[in-house]
Amino acid sequence: MDLNLNRADYLQVVVGDHDGVIMCFGMKKGEAVTVFKTLPGQKIARLELGGVLNTPQEKIFIAAGSEIRGFTKRGKQFLSFETNLTESIKAMVLYINIDVINEFLYYFKFVFCFSFKILVLQGSDVMYEIEVPGPPTVLALHNGNGGDSGEDLLFGTSDGKLGLIQITASRPLHKWEIRNEKKRGGMFFM
């Protein structure tokens, strides 16, 4: 199979490490080159790519401690806020919609977890907290896009439970949950 790629940014990889460094690599003439690298900081617990649905996912979001930061594909930081949580963020998912206020303003809805709760933020305001049956360790949008409603969120816990919650504008709706009756271990990836 032949790949004919005309843009250099098709082959980019972004990594975050325990030293708090975010590094983006790209391919140029068959060689890996650094697109950008940040200075060290707090340990990065989660890195997610985001963007408006059905467009390239070119925004980079990281969770480090209780802080959320966003970067462009060239490494420019465009978002930073402290959640003021006492615990570190364990997992993160984000929804991005465009509000036509101006071409630079995005509407963000962050969902992240700690302890036995999932916290939903809209911008930097807490919409609500959702209690779950175990310590959540992984979050994912259902079918990668939030499912039919665009609001469905899967969660997995460190004690092996799996559930689906609909994140609505007013309150969460618990759709289903699978208990770990056989105690087969925790969920860490989806």
Q: Which of 25-29, 97-101, 160-164 has the highest mean pLDDT?
A: 160-164
Whether residue 185 is contained in a domain is answered as: yes
22: how many CB neighbours lie within 10 A of its CB?
22
Token look-up 């690298």 returns 37
CA distance 17 to 19: 5
Whether residue 168 is contained in a domain is answered as: yes
Structure token pair of residue 14: 């972004």
Tell me how many domains the chain contains.
1
* Neighbour-count burial of 128, counting CB atoms closer than 10 A to its CB (0-12 exposed, 13-18 middle, 19+ buried): middle
Give 119-165 pLDDT, tens digit per residue. 887 766 778 888 888 888 888 888 888 888 888 889 988 899 999 99
Give 57-82 pLDDT, tens digit per residue. 888 999 999 888 999 999 999 888 88
Containing domain of residue 142, as a range? 90-190
| 3 compared with 189, residue with greater pLDDT | 189
* pTM reported for the whole predicted model: 0.70
To the nearest whole number, what is the mean pLDDT of the chain?
81
Whether residue 83 is contained in a domain is answered as: no
We report the CATH number of the domain holding residue 113 as 2.40.128
Average of pLDDT values for 24-44?
Answer: 90
* Three-state DSSP class for residue 9: helix
Whether residue 169 is contained in a domain is answered as: yes
Whether residue 99 is contained in a domain is answered as: yes
